[in-house]
Amino acid sequence: MPSPEQQAKDNRNKGNAAFKAGDWKKSINYYTKSLKHDSTQCVVFSNRSSAYLKLGQKEDALKDAEKCIVLSKTYAKGYARKAMALHALKKYTDEVNAYKMGLKHCPDDKTLKEGMEKARRSRTNSSKASQAARKTEATMKAASSRKKKAQNSNTVSQFVNETKKNLELQLAAIQAQLKMVSELASMNMEEKMDLLYTLLDKDHSGTIDAKELADGLRKRNDGLSFGDAIQKSIEMIAIYDEDGDAELDREEFRHFVERMVSELHATIDEFCEFLVYQILFSQSAEDDVEAIDVNQLKDEVRERGQLLDALSDPRMMSLFVLFDRDGDSAVSFKEVACGLYHLTKSMEESAKATTGLLLMMDKDDKRVLVYEQFAKLILAIAAAAHTTFDEVADDLTLAMTAEGADQMDAHVLKALTIADEEYRQARDAERAEKEQKKVMDALSYGRTVRLFDLWDANGDGTIDFEELFAGLRRYQAAANSSADEAEVEEIVKALMAQDVDGDQALDKEEFAAAMVNYADAMNTDLHQLIDFMCVVTALGDVA
């Protein structure tokens, strides 16, 4: 006669075989026999729970899962079985709590973590508040569509019908909103946070990317452009993204909300309700959202995250101080070239690299780099060398603090002086090219040529001082400018500085350059300025 332990094992194995074959009833029978011989087998209770659930016997599945947990509090599968049974019973809050308890005892279990995410989503989606939210979104979109159709109606009858439908849908939206407000008030803080998270997670991926967060931020502030919202969201995700995936999971999102709550001097409940209302009740048009490459956004988030980490690294500040030889809180071309020279031991190579890097980093042509730009430069050097910031920082620090590092021979200093002048020339050429592009843009604009012809009173193909003065004086009068004739004359003198060939008149290209400079000085759009000047001149000619 086999021992009780052996009989328990034999029946357990037969139960497992039946389970694999999909014969749930037979597997339950064998598992039950096994437990009669040994009722301390938590694995068998777990397996029988799963078999009960396959047969739709949810309560029995729940009981076995609970027995499994009693036998072993560190057996992760027992909590998962309990959660699945509760999910089948549509007890979603209890399901979340089951996963919570499991993660308390088994904090690193991947199955429990994934199950928790799904459970929280199920709880949110099944809530009355979420149902009201979906109705709100659907009716508001439908009402907006009907409104557009009414505006584009071809007949009075069509307008009346579309308007009626629009009003009916608006009423339905208001009713859904009122239901939403009522249900939201009865939710606890965690449930509100989950609802907000779900509303922002438009693609239901389980994480919030920069585009999704940007849409939420834009709806919170209707005056915020989508481009500005994107930049804000990149910054926010870079700050709170702890695992480096360039997205916010629930825990990271919670940290983000806590920061916002602190800045707004509100409670988490208030902030969640506020943002939910803004997202659902905002009138911002969905088609305002631009098509954006989410993967590109993720790269930008990662880059921003690396920069933020580098900025807070004390080694970066130490490097900045080492590079900044004159202590003016900025690094010049010469200072960067000298710093890199310690790595390359070749001023020619160092200068070449510095020129390329500064042309890329110094977008505003300040010809010096402040701390954040310097940090970007060091990260770019690391990326170009296919190494890490740690390696570059250590190598530069060692090289620049070595004995005799401050000493350079005459050949090196001469190469540095030549490189500095070449960099200045490259910058000047770049600036001239930008100005030329502006001129060519102006020339390519048809009405610029039309304005030139209107102001060329004698038709000689150039505009002299008197013609430019007459045209500009007429514009100033139409624009209600307070400038008197003497002031207009000074403006004309400044514009005549574009007379490159010195013939005391402006040809079409010189005139275009003058208009570019005038628009810049007036801080106005070039095309709008020329349009207005054309209209004023044409009306004056008619009069």
Q: Please give the pLDDT value at position 542.
A: 38
Q: List the chain residues with pLDDT less than 50.
A: 224, 285-290, 541-543
**DSSP bridge partners of 463:** 506
Question: Measuring CA to CA, which residue among 403, 401, 392 is closest to residue 344?
Answer: 392
Burial class (CB in 10 A: 0-12, 13-18, 19+), 510: buried
Report CA 308 to chain centroid distance, whole Å: 15
HEC string for 104-172: HHCCCCHHHHHHHHHHHHHHHHHCHHHHHHHHHHHHHHHHHHHHHHHHCCCCHHHHHHHHHHHHHHHHH
Alpha carbons 69 and 79: distance in angstroms, whole number: 7
Per-residue pLDDT reduced to its tens digit, 167-222: 888 888 888 888 888 888 888 888 888 888 888 888 778 888 777 777 766 665 55
CB atoms within 10 A of CB 246: 23
Tokens representing residue 301 in the block: 């988030």
Return d(Cα 17, Cα 88) in angstroms, integer: 25
Angle at the Cα of 118 (from 116 to 124), degrees rounded to 5? 100
pLDDT at 288: 47
Please give the radius of gyration of the chain, using alpha carbons only, rounded to the nearest integer. Answer: 36
Confidence (pLDDT) at 285? 44
pLDDT for the residue numbered 347: 60
Q: Write down the pLDDT at residue 30.
A: 93
Report the alpha-carbon distance of residue 471 to residue 168 in Å, rounded: 57
DSSP 506: E
Please name the residue ranges forming H helices in 402-497. 410-444, 446-455, 465-478, 485-495
pLDDT per residue as tens digits for the range 226-263: 555 556 666 667 666 677 777 888 888 888 888 777 77
Reference 234, options 308, 289, 309, 297; nearest CA is 297
pLDDT for 82: 95
Give which of 177, 191, 183 is closest to 281, Cα–Cα.
Answer: 177
